[in-house]
Amino acid sequence: MPRYALKIEYDGTPFAGWQRQADRHSVQEAVEMALKKLEADAPGIGAAGRTDAGVHATGQVAHCDLKKDWDPFRLSEALNFHLKPDPVAILAAAQVPEDFHARFSANERRYLFRVVNRRAPLVLERHRAWQVLNPLDADRMRAAAAELVGHHDFTTFRSSICQAASPVKTLDEISIEEVPIPHGVEFRFRLRARSFLHNQVRSIVGTLERAGAGSWAPEDVRAALEARDRAACGPVAPPHGLYLTAVGYPSDPFA
């Protein structure tokens, strides 16, 4: 059976997350239902990351096995037709080797977290960013973020229900871009690592927001990391500001 990689964009607002669930609609279910319109016995799919409810993606990657030898462009067009009206789009499809696995073949994941700092309520971006009313200091957040880059035990910054075998991860990058917007500013947090723990990005951004607000010093973030205790973490940022933007592989299947 030919194997295909799919690059997927979705608005996570109406979904219970990526992973199929018995009683709630998920992104995985939406894509699998579209695949079954093409081949009724199409098996389930695997994805690079199991995003939570409300989390968005502009570069999720999944793989699927199909009986027919599909032209990748026609496959993406057919899936997009059957995905309507769900807010999910197949950006690209590519035939890949049979040992390609969207999750286990990946060697990098990139996330974006958007924080909008303004007083007026969000309207157009209501489910697309986390609104923070009080002013934030970008330099304080960058100094605090520097304490987290590198190879660490991230127990403090992972969910209590995280199923990863080890809390030790290497965080390759945290950058914070400050972008002026009408009547406010948007902070764009970009994080890059081979893999992340459950809720790690949201836990980190929520803690860095406290540093930006002046409630935490950069040394407090270092102390929280070294505590290796979930109770030492700052607040967890809400899911709707988070985007899975890219998944890296030794050889880009969509090149």
Nearest to 27 by CA among 39, 11, 5: 11
Structure confidence at residue 86 (pLDDT): 98
- Angle at alpha carbon of residue 217, lines to 216 and 220, rounded to 5°: 80
Of 11, 23, 41, 52, which residue is the catalytic one? 52
Tens of pLDDT, residue by residue, the chain (255 residues):
899 999 999 999 999 999 999 899 999 999 999 999 999 999 999 999 999 999 999 999 999 999 999 999 999 999 999 999 999 999 999 999 999 999 999 999 999 999 999 999 999 999 999 999 999 999 999 999 999 999 999 999 999 899 899 999 999 999 999 999 999 999 999 999 999 999 999 999 999 999 999 999 999 999 999 999 999 999 999 999 999 999 999 999 999
Told to judge if 52 belongs to the known catalytic residues of this protein, a careful annotator would answer yes
Task: Locate 106 and state its tokens.
Answer: 């990946």
Structure confidence at residue 1 (pLDDT): 86
Residue 36 · residue 119 · CB < 8 Å: no
Structure confidence at residue 7 (pLDDT): 98
The reply to whether the predicted model has a pTM over 0.85 is: yes
Q: Are strands 242-248 and 56-65 parallel, antiparallel or unpaired?
A: parallel
pLDDT (tens digit, 9 = 90+) per residue, 196-248?
999 999 999 999 999 999 999 999 999 999 999 999 999 999 999 999 999 99
From residue 53, alpha-carbon distances to 16, 96, 209, 226 in Å are: 4, 29, 22, 29
Structure confidence at residue 122 (pLDDT): 95
Structure confidence at residue 120 (pLDDT): 96
In degrees to the nearest 10, what's the CA dihedral of 196, 199, 202, 207?
Answer: -100
Structure confidence at residue 14 (pLDDT): 97
Structure confidence at residue 5 (pLDDT): 98
Secondary structure of the chain as H, E, C letters: CCEEEEEEEECCCCCCCCCCCCCCCCHHHHHHHHHHHHCCCCCCCEECCCCCCCCEEEEEEEEEECCCCCCHHHHHHHHHHHHCCCCEEEEEEEEECCCCCCCCCCCEEEEEEEEEECCCCCCCCCCCCEEECCCCCHHHHHHHHHCCCEEEECHHHCCCCCCCCCCEEEEEEEEEEEEEECCEEEEEEEEEECCCCCCHHHHHHHHHHHHHHCCCCHHHHHHHHHHCCHHHCCCCCCHHHEEEEEEECCCCCCC
